[in-house]
Amino acid sequence: MDHLETEGRNPASEHLDALSPLELVRLMNSEDARVIDAVASQADSIAQAIEIIADRFRQGGRLIYIGAGTSGRLGVLDASECPPTFNSPPEQVVGLIAGGPTALTRAVEGAEDHPEYGEADLKAIALSANDVLVGIATSGRTPYVLGAIAYARSLGAYTIGLACTSTAELSELVDLAIVPIVGPEVLTGSTRLKAGTATKLVLNMLTTGSMVRLGKSFGNLMVDLRATNIKLQARTNRIIRQVVGVDHATADALLQQCGGELKTALVAALGKLSPDESRQRLRLSQGRVREALPIRPQSDKSLSLGIDGGGSHTVALLAREGVLIGRGEAGPSNLRAVGEAKAFQALDTAITRAFTAAALPRGSVGRACLGLAGAGRESERERFRAWASRVHLAESVSVVTDAELLLAAGTPEGWGLALVAGTGSIAWGRTADGRQARAGGWGYLLGDQGSGYALAMQALRTILQTADGTGPATALSERIPEHLQISDLYDLIPLVHGGPLDRAALAALATVVLDAAAEGDAVALTIVEEQAEQLARTALAAISTLGISRFPLALAGGLLLANADYRERVLERIRQHAQPAPITLVREPAEGALRLCQRLAST
């Protein structure tokens, strides 16, 4: 415990007992000001947690807080405030504290020291893989919380750790760590102070953020309520007057027409729709008022949108009668990787930026083609089509896989083989008569052979084997830590397991491996050759299924495009069994989406 920041003595308060009340207040206030920056340093992790929690809520999952002492009380408090604030079911956000309800007002000695108690409390509420568990432990070492986390991970639940110490054991055990470092307390070891404040701020953000993502607010107004009593009737009337700009009597009449449903009344009034139409739009928008409102932008049939959405970024190209006039880019839109809300947001941002680049107001277009990673199944494509309909994207919308864009952009007649190797990898082919086949594309846990991620992970495992004395010496043992700016290989553990390095950041290590191979490092060269062989086999598997040996080949993905040596190693192995020609490097797959738009126009 001595090494924990929260247990250290604060030099600013060493003479606390000698201070006047005013001096004490000013000291505590200045120390509390440090909490804001500590929480701000965790903004990215908190935002990621909000998206995950909201996504699990949509799938019927729950948010569970678990902690001991002050941490547990704060979790229970935040959970208990959700139903009255957001009209959420009481079982949707649950707070558990070591020692049970008695511990809310009176310390239950020793309850936090038993990891099995944490597991037992989760079993009692039937924790499932759909749930998110937030373990709250200021010290990052509370056995009750650690036991709960271990049990949750064994079930497949998503785990988040909230601690206030940089050496928190908890951080290494969870899927996502949130660690605001507030420093030593004014009263040594009293973590109900700054650490408690930081915890409360983070919990406020988690529940408020996730509930807003679910559509519990419209602007900053709490709109997910029904006028079931006099107080709520007055509140709903006031919200309608504020938003719609009508008088008290008109607001009451509107509410009555809509069965007392505030959201329905808002959509009906703002969208000039019937109550039934408003309810239908709210169902399609998953309860989000803003998305349920009809957007009636100016339609321009001469415009078309080609969109390439993947696991690392999204590109939207806007064209007028086939001539490119605007390009927009945003973050990832792979539905499986980032969830529905984040995927739709990335698409919306990229499209808006394309219109901005063209100096045009955002509006509906004649045709749109969306080539998307994570859209291989009809159910997934339908979710994107429903989104496109809600935002009035285009009069005609086509949703295809991202691999189809490559054939459209990189082959003469739209058939052949598309081979992608970037963060992930996949081979997808189509014959002239329409038969299709794919190989790879199973994701980083199950496949992605020959990808940047695969190269990086093989290199990381190799240098750890070298450190253990079970692998050969390699320059990678120095180059990779230098690239990551770490001095100890043990620092890899928090970086890789739920740390700041996501898959794309890890895949970027492939350049280190390729550079070392080019300079003659035998181990790096072996890794490169093995992964090139795996990627070539993936390509050959797809064309074998199609029964073709001569075919146009479209290459894409950062790894294949940026490294000519690696690309040639892969091609050399493919040429041993097949005859790819012509070979085209596709640097802007979204151009293939525009070509598909043109085909839509001609049919």
Rg (CA), the chain: 28
Residue 54 confidence (pLDDT): 92
Least confident of 9-18, 310-319, 513-522, 532-541: 9-18
**C-alpha distances in angstroms, 466 versus 137, 140, 475, 520?**
35, 31, 11, 18
Q: What percent of the chain has pLDDT over 70?
A: 96
Phi-psi region of 316 (alpha: psi -120 to 50; beta: other; left: phi over 0): beta
User: pLDDT by residue (tens digit) across 188-223?
Assistant: 877 888 888 999 999 999 999 999 888 888 878 878
CATH of 299-409, one of 3.40.50.300, 1.20.120.530, 3.30.420.40, 3.30.70.20: 3.30.420.40
CA–CA dist 186, 9 (Å, integer): 8
**C-alpha distances in angstroms, 595 versus 301, 434, 544?**
16, 17, 28
Residue 498 confidence (pLDDT): 65
pLDDT higher than 70, residue 301: yes
Q: Which residues in 260-378 belong to E strands, given as ranges?
A: 299-309, 314-320, 323-330, 364-372
pLDDT higher than 90, residue 530: yes
Contact by Cβ (8 Å): 90, 96:
no
Residue 61 confidence (pLDDT): 94
pTM assigned to the model: 0.51
**C-alpha distances in angstroms, 37 versus 11, 34, 181, 201, 451?**
20, 6, 9, 12, 38
pLDDT higher than 90, residue 75: yes
Averaged over 158-168, what is the pLDDT? 90
pLDDT higher than 70, residue 140: yes
Task: Assign domain 452-590 to its CATH superfamily.
Answer: ATPase, nucleotide binding domain (3.30.420.40)
Phi-psi region of 397 (alpha: psi -120 to 50; beta: other; left: phi over 0): beta
Please name the CATH architecture into which domain 5-213 falls. Answer: 3-Layer(aba) Sandwich (3.40)
Task: Give domain limits for the chain.
Answer: 5-213, 220-292, 299-409, 452-590
Averaged over 440-461, what is the pLDDT? 86
- Least Cα distance to 38 among 159, 176, 145, 193 occurs for 193
User: pLDDT by residue (tens digit) across 334-363?
Assistant: 877 777 778 888 888 889 889 888 888 778
pLDDT higher than 90, residue 575: yes
Say if strands 299-309 and 364-372 run parallel, antiparallel, or are unpaired. Answer: parallel
* SS3 state of residue 112: helix
Per CATH, 220-292 and 452-590 having the same topology is answered no
Give 296's pLDDT tier (boundaries 50, 70, 90). Answer: low
pLDDT higher than 60, residue 3: no
Give 601's pLDDT tier (boundaries 50, 70, 90). Answer: low
Residue 203 confidence (pLDDT): 95
Averaged over 281-305, what is the pLDDT? 80
Across the chain, mean pLDDT equals: 86
Say if strands 132-136 and 93-97 run parallel, antiparallel, or are unpaired. Answer: unpaired
| Max avg pLDDT among 227-231, 335-339, 392-396 | 392-396
Query: Secondary structure of 442-504 in the HEC alphabet?
Result: CCCCCCCCCCHHHHHHHHHHHHHHHHHCCCCCCCHHHHHHHHHCCCCHHHHHHHHCCCCCCHH
Residue 533 confidence (pLDDT): 93
Catalogue the active-site residues.
81, 112
| Max avg pLDDT among 22-26, 105-109, 198-202, 504-508 | 198-202
Contact by Cβ (8 Å): 96, 122:
yes
CA–CA dist 421, 451 (Å, integer): 5
In sequence order, which ranges of 81-140 are alpha helices (DSSP H)?
A: 82-86, 115-124
DSSP of 25-82: HHHHHHHHHHHHHHHHTTHHHHHHHHHHHHHHHHTT--EEEEESHHHHHHHHHHHHTH
Residue 7 confidence (pLDDT): 66
Please name the fold of domain 220-292.
Helicase, Ruva Protein; domain 3 (1.10.8)
Contact by Cβ (8 Å): 544, 574:
no
Give 2's pLDDT tier (boundaries 50, 70, 90). Answer: very low
Give 487's pLDDT tier (boundaries 50, 70, 90). Answer: confident
Neighbours of 1 (CB within 10 A): 9
What DSSP character marks residue 295?
P
- Least Cα distance to 214 among 81, 52, 28 occurs for 52
CA–CA dist 192, 184 (Å, integer): 12
Residue 295 confidence (pLDDT): 62
CA–CA dist 402, 427 (Å, integer): 11
